[in-house]
Amino acid sequence: MSAPRARLETLPRGLQAALALGLLALLSFPFVGSDFYVQMVARMMILAIFAMSLDLLQGVTGLVSLGHAAYFGLAGYALAFITPAAEPASLWWTLPVAVAASALAALVIGFFVVRTHGIYFIMVTMAFAQMVFYLFFDNKMLGGSDGLYINFKPDAAIAGWLPFDLENKLSFYYFTLFFLVAVYAFLRRLLWSPFGRALAGIRINEHRMRAMGFGTFGYKLAAFTLAGALAGLAGYLWGAQSGYVNPELMGFHMSAHAIMMVILGGMGNFAGAIVGAFTFELLLDLFKDLPAIGSFDTGKHWQLWMGLFIVALIVFAPRGLLGLTQRTGKGASGEQP
């Protein structure tokens, strides 16, 4: 139906080497970057985790969710609710609770949405995310349109012993990097597990999978819930880092940005999602910092540049950045519908 997309499920050597170099760069970055940039890169890593969680649905299973931000935001809100106003809450129970809250929401909403296909799935995931958005937006008790503050970062102390302190920006950076690597490794393993193969099978031909005896509803619901949980992990980190959550975190634009990140890098292999998240955030900062030309403030109109960029990307390079590394004309990346 459409041009075959590069999936790069097996990453070429060169790309693996580049990823290893990227990891080295991330490990050593705090030694050269200022506080401001260390925080910025930590934020990009959080979004990379978010993008990878969406890639599990979008790239691997072929389910385009336009409401993934709901699960991202929910975990942030969960952290905001359980952190008292005057003291920190323990990392060791707030993290599992926040992730479980997102997973539960994804399970309940997933129960309704994975029955639908194609375009319906896109619309319905968006509508349910909007429901969650308005639940928080309209209710003063849940913070309303202003959102909530998280005054303290989660406390990592175990019975008086403090292995690391998240209030310290460096510790937080490495804490986030740990999760970035862990989620990537987990999802790469998952991709080649029988579960991951079944999800890829659903993407390529769900009817055939059903005919072969796979209960695709259960597989899709499991993928949706897992993706929600991982988005929750990212949202928890986001809430902890910024100390503030508002309904925009669950909004339509956040969800669309996540899709954009996955597309930008190239989908279905998780490495692309990371590359896409970093590139997208860099572009966003670039567009917002554009200098004024005369009286025309080009940076203020960043949405125009971003919009035109998205349109141009989708018209001219629909296979994403990692797709560009593959020579065009090679049939290897194409898949049978």
The residues binding other proteins (CB under 8 A) are: 1-3, 58, 64, 66, 112-113, 115-116, 118-120, 122-124, 126-128, 130-131, 134-135, 137-138, 252, 256, 259-260, 263, 301, 303-304, 306-311, 313-315, 318
Q: Residue 47 or residue 126: which is nearer to other proteins going by CB?
A: 126
CB of 251 to other proteins, least distance (A): 9
> For the chain, what is the radius of gyration of the CA atoms?
20
Return d(Cα 312, Cα 303) in angstroms, integer. 14
Q: Residue 177 or residue 322: which is nearer to other proteins going by CB?
A: 322
CB of 120 to other proteins, least distance (A): 6
Q: Residue 138 or residue 146: which is nearer to other proteins going by CB?
A: 138
CB of 331 to other proteins, least distance (A): 19
CB of 313 to other proteins, least distance (A): 8
Q: Residue 24 or residue 308: which is nearer to other proteins going by CB?
A: 308
CB of 128 to other proteins, least distance (A): 6
CB of 134 to other proteins, least distance (A): 4
3-class secondary structure per residue, the chain: CCCCCCCCCCCCHHHHHHHHHHHHHHHHHHHHCCHHHHHHHHHHHHHHHHHHHHHHHHHHHCCCCCCCHHHHHHHHHHHHHHCCCCCCCEHHHHHHHHHHHHHHHHHHHHHHHCCCCHHHHHHHHHHHHHHHHHHHHHCHHHCHHHCEECCCCCECCECCECCCCCCCHHHHHHHHHHHHHHHHHHHHHHHHCHHHHHHHHHHHCHHHHHHCCCCHHHHHHHHHHHHHHHHHHHHHHHHHHHCEECHHHHCHHHHHHHHHHHHHHCCCCCHHHHHHHHHHHHHHHHHHCCCCECCECCCCCHHHHHHHHHHHHHHHCCCHHHHHHCCCCCHHHCCCC
CB of 280 to other proteins, least distance (A): 12
Q: Residue 1 or residue 85: which is nearer to other proteins going by CB?
A: 1
Q: Residue 27 or residue 308: which is nearer to other proteins going by CB?
A: 308
